[in-house]
């Protein structure tokens, strides 16, 4: 009996200890990686002159005030304290690409700086020159006057998988060579105002000052540049984003080649394909990038892409989410050919076109009505004025939306301009009435709307019995 109890206690002990040993073996050891590559990580500080005037503005000093003589030393002839220059500074991180002093960091770390200082791991501080910078990808290349510097190894973000361990080294809040680790949470994330970067999302602790620092894989190779965090407090909340190293090195290559950065341009506005839109366009599932507007004079217009086309693949790479498309287009060299697979009127089609250079951003406008027209989907519409008609080429303006109507449930608003219904162009109010009268029941109907200077698709749900 005692022997049986003894054996049982040994078994329980083994079961309790074994998972801890297995877990310990599974956890990575970053010590060697940090020792080998942290010397190639640098702290970047910048200064720029800010001119500030006194918040009090003009001071009215009484003529015989005892403070008159004192304030004369600080005020100009008008009684206003003149603006004074103040040094503003910011901190960031970077890493050394080559032994002769090329350093990679974020554009936002060095933007508008009058002076940039790079502090090395051996405490040397060197003045840096900006070789080139790109705000669209948030990448900047610097050069310091030094040689025989420690360097990082460049890896591949494409090989890294979601769930893989990664490590960051940087200077959060100015604490040099701080090391944090985590896993890859997702890949190909699209963020606002950064549509040309398919970000790597991680749960690595990144804070102000980490920007521009390297993201390493377990082999000690740099797979990304830590760039942004999602935060409601200004500090780390578990959502960090890194620029894939392939994107950054493409910018470095262009900067070194001539300093001018070119980026491919297709010339379309796109939106996500929802389940409702997928049904209305005859797709089995919600995939692709829905073209809501084609820009005049763009490659897309020249080669026949239309609003309502759903782009399914670009150069053989499937477009699952609409955010997949801009980075693929942006990476194509200007003047190169591209293949686009799209869905139009229920059929797939392939278009070959030549990619052109991304131009500077433009703007657009809109205006007012003529005589109402009531219809079965609860909209009161009117023809466009001559100016708007000339700008858009077609369409009708929504004047009123009836409460609890099909139009209101779809999200249509007064002021929207309807350009297309069920993939048919709306030329005027009379044409609009004819199209609406013939809309089929029991299915989703795509409606192309011009709203606040941009085009987008909205889905009408026409019930079986109206």
Biggest alpha carbon–alpha carbon distance for the chain? 108
Q: Are 338 and 352 in contact (CB under 8 A)?
A: yes
Is 164 labeled as catalytic in the residue annotation?
no
β-bridge pairing 153-154 and 165-170: unpaired
For residue 396, what are the β-bridge partners? 383, 418
Identified catalytic residue from 48, 54, 108, 177: 108
Is 54 labeled as catalytic in the residue annotation?
no
Identified catalytic residue from 211, 227, 240, 382: 211
Is 9 labeled as catalytic in the residue annotation?
no
Q: CB-based burial of residue 17 (10 Å sphere; 0-12 exposed, 13-18 middle, 19+ buried)?
A: exposed
**Cα dihedral across residues 170, 173, 178, 182: positive or negative:** negative
Residues 6+ away with beta carbon under 8 Å from 177:
38, 41, 121, 169, 170, 171
Which is nearest to 37 in space by CA: 191, 210, 217, 165?
A: 217
Q: Are 462 and 439 in contact (CB under 8 A)?
A: yes
Identified catalytic residue from 134, 138, 217, 416: 138
Secondary structure string (H, E, C) spanning the chain: CHHHHHHHHHHHHHHHHHHHHHHHHHCCCCHHHHHHHHHHEEEEEEEEEEEECCCCCECCCCCCCCCHHHHHCCCCCCCECCCEEEEEEEEEEEEECCCCCEEEECHHHHCCCCEEEEECCCCCEEEEEEEEEECCCCEEEEEECCCCCCCCEECCCCCCCCCCEEEEEECHHHCCCEEEEEEEEEEEEEECCEEEEEEEEECCCCCCCCCCCEEECCCCEEEEEEEEECCCCCCCCCCEEEEEHHHHHHHHHHHHHHCCCCCEECCEEEEECCHHHHHHHCCCCCCCEEEEEECCCCHHHHCCCCCCCEEEEECCEECCCHHHHHHHHHHCCCCCEEEEEEEECCEEEEEEEECEECCCCCCCCCCCCCCCEECCCCEEEEECCHHHHHHHCCCEEEEEECCCCHHHHHCCCCCCEEEEECCEECCCHHHHHHHHHCCCCCEEEEEEEEECCEEEEEEEEECCCC
Instruction: Provide the annotated active-site residues.
Output: 108, 138, 211
């Amino acid at each position: 009996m005692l022997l049986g109890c003894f054996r049982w206690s040994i078994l329980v002990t083994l079961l309790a200890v074994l998972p801890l040993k297995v877990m310990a073996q599974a956890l990575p050891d970053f010590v060697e990686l940090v020792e080998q590559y942290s010397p190639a990580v640098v702290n970047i500080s910048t200064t720029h002159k800010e001119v500030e005037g006194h918040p009090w503005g003009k001071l009215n000093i009484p003529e015989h005030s005892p403070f008159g003589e004192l304030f004369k030393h600080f005020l100009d002839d008008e009684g206003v304290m003149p603006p004074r220059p103040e040094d503003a500074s910011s901190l960031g991180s970077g890493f050394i690409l080559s032994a002769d002093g090329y350093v990679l960091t974020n554009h936002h770390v060095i933007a508008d700086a009058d002076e940039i200082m790079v502090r090395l791991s051996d405490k040397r501080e060197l003045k840096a020159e900006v070789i080139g910078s790109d705000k669209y990808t948030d990448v900047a290349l610097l050069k310091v006057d030094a040689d025989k510097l420690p360097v990082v190894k460049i890896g591949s973000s494409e090989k890294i998988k979601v769930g893989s361990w990664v490590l960051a080294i940087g200077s959060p809040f100015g604490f040099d060579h701080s090391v944090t680790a985590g896993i890859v949470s997702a890949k190909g994330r699209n963020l606002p105002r950064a549509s040309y970067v398919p970000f790597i999302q991680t749960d690595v602790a990144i804070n102000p000052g980490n920007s521009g620092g390297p993201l390493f894989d377990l082999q000690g190779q740099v797979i990304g540049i830590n760039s942004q965090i999602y935060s409601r407090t200004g500090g780390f909340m578990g959502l960090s984003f890194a620029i894939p190293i392939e994107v950054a090195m493409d910018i470095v290559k262009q900067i070194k080649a001539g300093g001018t950065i070119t980026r491919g341009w297709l010339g379309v506005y796109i939106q996500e394909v929802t389940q409702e839109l997928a049904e209305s366009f005859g797709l089995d599932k919600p995939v692709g990038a829905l073209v809501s507007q084609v820009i005049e004079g763009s490659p897309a217009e020249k080669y026949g892409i239309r609003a309502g086309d759903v782009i399914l693949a670009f150069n053989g790479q499937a477009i699952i989410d609409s955010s997949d498309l801009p980075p693929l287009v942006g990476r194509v060299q200007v003047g190169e050919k591209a293949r686009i697979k799209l869905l139009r009127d229920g059929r797939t089609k392939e278009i070959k076109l030549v990619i052109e250079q991304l131009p500077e951003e433009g703007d657009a406008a809109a205006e007012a009505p003529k005589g109402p027209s009531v219809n079965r989907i609860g909209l009161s519409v009117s023809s466009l004025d001559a100016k708007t008609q000339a700008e858009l080429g077609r369409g009708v303006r929504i004047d009123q939306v009836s409460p609890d109507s099909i139009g209101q449930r779809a999200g249509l608003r007064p002021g929207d301009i309807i350009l297309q219904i069920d993939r048919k162009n709306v030329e005027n109010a009379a044409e609009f009435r004819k199209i609406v009268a013939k809309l089929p029941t029991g299915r989703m109907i795509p409606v192309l709307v011009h709203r606040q200077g941009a085009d987008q698709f909205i889905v009408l749900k026409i019930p079986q019995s109206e």
